[in-house]
């Protein structure tokens, strides 16, 4: 043990490979290999909490029981030479304890009396002990367990025990330490202590692993948190367990050791509700952590970001009927999951007048979105790439069912709009053999239009080719006479070249276009040397002019 300081860092396990996985299980609770005695005082659970005798049989039971146990729990610290009550409250939603700067102090006792139940520190008379008990709300001790421990082993695994055994006081040199826990925490603490010796756990059930994970967080045993997290991650994930993992206390969620578990839970929920329109009612019923996991996904299948915005408002109004609370959750949690740069300008106008957002926040996100839309395609892709490893992807495009477009609209001298639609090579490849992709709606003279790109057969049905069509959204019996022109950028000039011109009188739900826009078979259009893909992107342009 002479080289313990050089081989170990407190709480971090071994820095050298030899000691990292050392198994000291043979020394657990063995006086021959121990220098101290850990006295564990077990007190009753709080009202309505389950004890080990009424153990949780499912994840749902564990979650309900944990929430009950958290109510009314308080940090109790007696005088420096008395008992450390280890029933710390969980910290939720970033709220810290009122006295978080104060460190809990363990009781360092003189050697126990022969009966092993000396509850008063040496030198204290009964009056002092009684006075202390009257000032603190202590429950009756149900039983006491004495465990022989090795302070170097515990200190190497846990900063909590390291500080306890090296506090510079004379009591730190004495042999007996007392911890006080609830009866429902007993099994988890014993499992944790055994893990600190053996680097393994005998328990494998989700509920028991969660109890040990919570104990490991409390006593700062990062290696055990990683171990529990890995075992939980390897168990079949369910909606219930995924939501529970994301609702663990913030102290647990922020630990590096648990990040892989929470990421797995996020990925499960994102995959489960990938098609948000198909499971709309289920997603509307998700708690905040669940909706955050779903909306964070780049692969969310949704018509457009406008639809995401509408959905977020609907969820927020259902779960936070009070305006002040709703504004708070939109400003701090949900608003950053809406990718405003990919919303249409018409919807962005509505954001500015939406009462659910603070006016200052609404102005900020709309201005940022408009600046992004004004950037070149290359600059937009650069901004998206820079966010690849960020928590929130404001500038990353989702898997929209309706592809975003850039629109420039003119009122004079004629009502006209120029629409830009970009499709990457992979998106085009997915169109084969009979697929189609639609653009988001754009407006001219108050009427909604859209573009649709197809893989279809040519007029003679002899080969597949790329087609582009212009349609008008269904809206009554209004008709519009429109001149239109389709163009695409080509190599090597990378300028737009006109590919098709026409005119058509639209009525609701009708579409017009050209089945073989590039007068090429599909294979030639998609070839590596195709002149239409510039850095892997097909740039299309449609010009629409109202005919008078």
Long-range contacts, stretch 44-48, CB < 8 angstroms, 24+ apart:
44/139, 44/140, 44/142, 44/182, 44/183, 45/69, 45/182, 45/183, 45/184, 46/71, 46/72, 46/73, 46/182
Token digits of residue 28: 């657990």
Query: Closest Cα to residue 27, out of 205, 140, 122, 152?
Result: 152
Q: pLDDT at position 114, please?
A: 36
175 compared with 522, residue with greater pLDDT: 522
**Structure tokens of 491?**
């190599």
Strand pairing partners for 467?
Answer: 454
Q: How confident is the model at residue 507 (pLDDT cuts 50, 70, 90)?
A: confident
DSSP labels for 219-270? Answer: TT-HHHHHHHHHHHHHSPP-HHHHHHHTTS-HHHHTSGGGHHHHHHHHHHHH
| Residue 399 confidence (pLDDT) above 90 | no
67 vs 290, residue with greater confidence: 290
Residue 53 confidence (pLDDT) above 60: no
- Over residues 125-147, the pLDDT tens digits come to 333 333 333 333 446 888 999 99
What distances in angstroms separate CA 160 from CA 166, 298, 369, one per listed residue? Answer: 10, 40, 47
pLDDT in tens, 231-251: 999 999 999 999 999 999 888
**Once rounded to an integer, what is the mean pLDDT over residues 303-307?**
92
The reported pLDDT for the residue numbered 173 is 57
In angstroms, the CA 245 to CA 249 distance is 9
Q: Could you tell me which of 182, 183, 202 has the C-alpha nearest to residue 193?
A: 202
Q: How many CB atoms lie within 10 A of CB 199?
A: 18
Q: What is the pLDDT of residues 365-382, one digit of tens each?
A: 999 999 998 888 788 888
- Buried-state track 506-542, b at ≥16 Cβ within 10 A, e below 16: bebeeeebbebbbebbbeebbeeebbbbbeebbbbbb
In angstroms, the CA 8 to CA 99 distance is 31
More confident residue, 315 or 104: 315
Assess contact for 294 and 269: CB atoms under 8 A: yes
343-367 pLDDT, tens digit per residue, is 988 899 999 999 999 999 999 999 9
Confidence at residue 113, expressed as pLDDT on a 0 to 100 scale: 35
Let me know if 22 is exposed, middle or buried by CB neighbors in 10 A (0-12, 13-18, 19+).
middle
Token pair, residue 272, equals 């489960």
pLDDT digits (tens, 9 = 90+) for 405-422: 989 899 888 899 999 999
Mean pLDDT for 278-289 is: 94
Q: pLDDT value at position 232?
A: 95
Cα–Cα distance for residue pair 430/450, rounded to 1 Å: 20
Average pLDDT over residues 47-73: 53
What is the separation of C-alpha 250 from the centre of its chain, rounded to a whole number of angstroms?
A: 13
pLDDT at 109: 40
pLDDT at res. 287: 96
pLDDT of residue 29: 79
Of the listed ranges 69-73, 231-235, 473-477, the least confidently predicted one is: 69-73
Per-residue pLDDT at 391: 79
Pairwise pLDDT comparison (168 vs 396), residue with the higher score: 396
CA dihedral 119, 124, 126, 128 (to 10 degrees): -110
Query: Model confidence at 527, in pLDDT bands (50, 70, 90)?
Result: very high
The whole-chain average pLDDT of the chain stands at 81
Look at residue 548 in the predicted model and tell me its pLDDT. 74
Q: Is the pLDDT of residue 285 over 90?
A: yes
Q: How confident is the model at residue 78 (pLDDT cuts 50, 70, 90)?
A: very low
- Has residue 435 got a pLDDT over 90? yes
pLDDT at 388: 77
Mean local confidence (pLDDT), 145-154: 91
pTM beyond 0.75 = no
Looking at residue 461, its pLDDT comes to 83
β partners of residue 496: 489
SS3 state of residue 359: helix
Q: What share of the chain is helix, strand, coil (3-state, %, to 5)?
A: 40, 20, 40
How far from the centroid of its chain's Cα atoms is residue 114's Cα?
54
What pLDDT score does 331 carry?
Answer: 96
Q: Are 222 and 12 in contact (CB under 8 A)?
A: yes
Q: Which range has highest mean pLDDT (60-64, 101-105, 282-286)?
A: 282-286
CA–CA gap between residue 465 and residue 470 (Å, rounded): 17
- Of 178, 193, 213, the C-alpha closest to 77 is 178
Residue 282 has pLDDT above 50, yes or no: yes
Average pLDDT of the segment spanning 469-493: 88
Three-state SS for 387-453 is CCCCCCCCCCCCEECEECCEEEEECCCCCEEEEEEEEEHHHHHCCCCCCEEEECCEEECCEEEEEEE
């Amino acid at each position: 043990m002479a080289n313990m300081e050089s081989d170990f860092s407190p709480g971090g396990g071994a820095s050298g490979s030899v000691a990292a996985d050392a198994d000291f299980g043979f020394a657990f609770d063995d006086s021959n290999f121990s220098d101290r005695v850990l006295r564990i005082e077990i007190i009753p659970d709080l009202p309505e909490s389950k004890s080990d005798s009424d153990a949780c049989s499912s994840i749902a039971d564990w979650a309900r029981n944990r929430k009950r146990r958290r109510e009314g729990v308080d940090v109790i610290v007696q005088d420096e030479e008395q008992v450390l009550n280890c029933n710390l409250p969980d910290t939720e939603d970033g709220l810290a304890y009122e006295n978080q700067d104060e460190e809990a102090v363990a009781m360092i006792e003189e050697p126990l009396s022969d009966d092993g139940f000396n509850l008063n520190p040496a030198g204290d008379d009964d009056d002092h002990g009684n006075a202390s008990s009257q000032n603190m709300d202590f429950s009756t001790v149900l039983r006491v367990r004495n465990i022989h421990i090795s302070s170097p082993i515990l200190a190497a695994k846990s900063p909590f025990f390291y500080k306890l055994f090296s506090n510079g006081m004379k009591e730190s040199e004495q042999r007996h330490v007392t911890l006080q826990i609830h009866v429902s925490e007993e099994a988890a603490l014993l499992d944790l202590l055994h893990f600190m010796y053996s680097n393994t756990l005998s328990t494998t059930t989700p509920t028991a692993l969660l109890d040990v994970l919570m104990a490991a967080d409390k006593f700062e045993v990062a290696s055990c948190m990683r171990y529990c997290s890995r075992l939980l991650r390897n168990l079949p994930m369910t909606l219930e367990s995924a939501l529970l993992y994301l609702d663990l206390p913030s102290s647990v969620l922020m630990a590096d050791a648990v990040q892989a578990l929470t990421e797995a839970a996020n990925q499960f929920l994102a995959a489960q509700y990938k098609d948000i329109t198909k499971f709309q009612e289920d997603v509307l019923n998700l708690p905040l952590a669940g909706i955050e996991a779903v909306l964070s996904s780049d692969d969310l299948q949704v018509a457009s970001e406008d639809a995401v915005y509408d959905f977020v408002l609907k969820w927020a109004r259902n779960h936070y009927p009070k305006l002040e609370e709703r504004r708070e959750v939109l400003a701090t949690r949900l608003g950053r999951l809406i990718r405003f740069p990919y919303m249409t300008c018409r919807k962005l106008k509505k954001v500015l007048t939406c009462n659910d957002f603070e006016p200052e926040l609404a102005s900020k996100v709309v201005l940022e979105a408009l600046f992004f839309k004004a950037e070149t395609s290359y600059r937009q892709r650069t901004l998206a790439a820079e966010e690849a490893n960020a928590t929130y992807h404001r500038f990353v495009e989702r898997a929209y069912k309706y592809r975003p477009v850039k629109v420039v609209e003119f009122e004079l001298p004629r009502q006209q709009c120029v629409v830009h639609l970009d499709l990457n090579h992979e998106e085009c490849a997915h169109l084969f053999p009979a697929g189609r992709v639609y653009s988001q709606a754009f407006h001219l003279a108050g009427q909604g239009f859209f573009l649709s790109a197809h893989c279809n057969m040519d007029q003679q049905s002899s080969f597949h080719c790329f087609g582009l069509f212009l349609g008008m959204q269904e809206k009554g019996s209004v008709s519009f006479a429109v001149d239109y022109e389709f163009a695409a950028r080509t190599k090597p000039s990378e300028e737009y070249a006109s590919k098709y011109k026409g005119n058509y009188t639209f009525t609701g739900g009708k579409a017009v276009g050209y089945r073989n826009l590039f007068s090429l078979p599909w294979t030639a259009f998609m070839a590596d040397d195709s002149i239409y893909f510039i850095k892997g992107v097909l740039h299309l342009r449609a010009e629409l002019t109202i005919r008078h």
